[in-house]
Amino acid sequence: MTALDDLPIRDDLRGLTPYGAPQLDVPVRLNTNENSYPVPEPVVEAIGKALSAELRDLNRYPDRDAVALRADLAEYLGHGLTVDQVWAANGSNEIQQQLLQAFGGPGRTALGFTPAYSMHPLLALGTGTGWIPAARDADFGLTADEAVAQVRAHRPDVVFLCSPNNPTGTALDPTVVAAVLAEAPGMVIVDEAYAEFARPGTVSALAVLPGHPRLVVTRTMSKAFGFAGGRLGYLAADPAVVAAVQLVRLPYHLSALTQAAARAALAHREALLGTVTAIMRQRDRIVAELRARGHRVADSDANFVLFEVGSDQAAAWRTLLDAGVLVRDVGLPGWLRVTAGTPAETDAFLSAMEEL
Ligand SMILES: Cc1ncc(COP(=O)(O)O)c(C=O)c1O
């Protein structure tokens, strides 16, 4: 068998391993921030009908521009957004990849405030965009002044902001987004994958889209909608940004089945988003309980919680796994991340934590 490195692979990919959290067969899986609740039966039926209606026409390519789906997404987002301000792809990862293909690339740079979503630097790598890891403060916070100073120092072509931030969970203060927008010479991408879980009063960057043609807000149906397996992410931005990503997207990138399933899911959004409040309750319960037990815990506006376990987070991760609970070691010394799911999953996690 040929070893990968015997192939004429790009030098910058040589020796790397593929991204991905362990997919282990464990009773309680709380490591990838999925929505723990299965799709409700009426929604299963509606998606089934929508898919079945497409099957006879699978000999034809789908709507390349996914116009009907984008109109539904614009309507869901509100803020007066229209179809020409929304674009969709197979997950927000693909959306961000398309953005880097259009606005990053060889000779250009993207900057993110770490620790943040670990796919951002990998998408930069894959698109040949230079990656600049800027820092958050020791408590994982980010102030407007700190953010502006780092953007001013590096003048990147693309800035990634993540709000609520993964893995820390905390949403950004709107003053940070405003300050970065005023300073950044290029595009500013605000990754709002977890926006629906934010605590009351959290402001979405969607509110500042008018008048900011270099701002892009990315969202996903993977988390709040519980549609991770359906693979549907989207962006909202100025129509010129949508025109730009259309230059790099693959033709027919969104299958007819994906478009139909996502539209059916959106039509039943009340049933799907009905789990959000229950998940937020478990999130707040995890934060409160771990703090009561003396752990340091980051404030969370997402469906997960970052908590301190002492110096050896790898050993703590293993102890929890041995107790049947899979959480995420995000590589932050001393910290682990747990997804908030059902009350029973929280019970299992909190009792496994007694083992530490
Ligand atoms: C911050 C953030 N952005 C984007 C994504 C990607 O989501 P998807 O590609 O499923 O839309 C994730 C997934 O975990 C995430 O945590």
What count of other Cβ atoms lies within 10 Å of the Cβ of residue 216?
27
What mean pLDDT do residues 254-283 have?
A: 97
228 Cα: distance to centroid of ligand 1 (angstroms): 9
CB-based contact 302:194 (threshold 8 Å): yes
What is the model's pTM?
Answer: 0.97
Report the pLDDT value the prediction gives residue 285, as an integer from 0 to 100: 98
Query: Which range (18-22, 289-293, 316-320, 346-350) has the least confidence?
Result: 18-22
CB of 208 within 8 A of CB of 215? yes
Question: Which residues does ligand 1 sit against, CB inside 6 Å?
Answer: 33, 91-93, 117, 162, 166, 191, 193, 220, 222, 228, 233
Contacts of 115 by beta carbon, 8 Å cutoff, 6+ apart: 136, 140, 165, 167, 168, 330, 332
Note the pLDDT of residue 158: 98
> 215 near 237, Cβ under 8 Å?
yes
The dihedral built from the CA positions of residue 120, 125, 129 and 130, taken in this order, carries a sign that is: positive
pLDDT band, very low/low/confident/very high, at 286 (cuts 50, 70, 90): very high
Q: Report the pLDDT value the prediction gives residue 231, as an integer from 0 to 100.
A: 98
% of residues, the chain, pLDDT over 90: 94
Q: Whose CA is closest to atom 3 on ligand 1? A: 193
pLDDT at res. 305 = 98
CA-233 nearest atom, ligand 1:
11
CB atoms within 10 A of CB 350: 16
Cα–Cα distance list, 274 to 38, 39, 129, 339 (Å): 12, 11, 39, 18
CB of 198 closer than 8 Å to CB of 164? yes
Q: What distances in angstroms separate CA 200 from CA 135, 173, 224, 226, 312, one per listed residue?
A: 27, 13, 16, 21, 34
How far does the centroid of ligand 1 lie from the alpha carbon of residue 93, in Å? 6
Consecutive H or E run containing 176: helix 174-183
Average pLDDT (123-129) is 98
- Asked if residue 29 lies in contact with residue 326, where contact means CB atoms within 8 angstroms, the answer is yes
